Amino acid sequence: MIIGRVINNIWSTRKDQSLIGIKLMIVQTLDTPSEENRRIIVAADLIGAGIGERVLITEGSSARRMMGLENAPIDAIIVGIIDENQE
């Protein structure tokens, strides 16, 4: 899993039929201390994350296993919202 921060959402007037009703969010990964080396990815959101929230993301075939999306063209999905870090 990857930790990221939701920085925006994507509006799409045309998309694959299997993506209709699925919210797409732009997420900046927080897996490196250097801000310039952080990736920006698009992740499907089925749990209702908002802009500015820290989230858990899974990528690859594991992402498509959630909620019967095996045939959807999804490579990353938000699977959790982080409430707080405990150190």
Q: Are 1 and 79 in contact (CB under 8 A)?
A: yes
Query: Which fold, 2-81?
Result: OB fold (Dihydrolipoamide Acetyltransferase, E2P) (2.40.50)
Mean pLDDT of 14-40: 84
Across the chain, mean pLDDT equals 85
Q: Given a cut of 70, is residue 64 above it in pLDDT?
A: no
Strands 40-45 vs 76-81: parallel, antiparallel or unpaired: parallel
- What's the pLDDT score for residue 66? 67
The helix or strand, by DSSP H or E, that contains position 61, with its residue range, turns out to be helix 61-64
Beta strand segments in 1-87, E: 2-10, 23-29, 40-45, 54-59, 76-81
| Domain spans, the chain | 2-81
pTM of the predicted model as reported, rounded to 2 decimal places:
0.82
pLDDT in tens, 2-20: 999 999 999 888 888 878 8
First-to-last alpha carbon distance for the chain, in angstroms, is 18
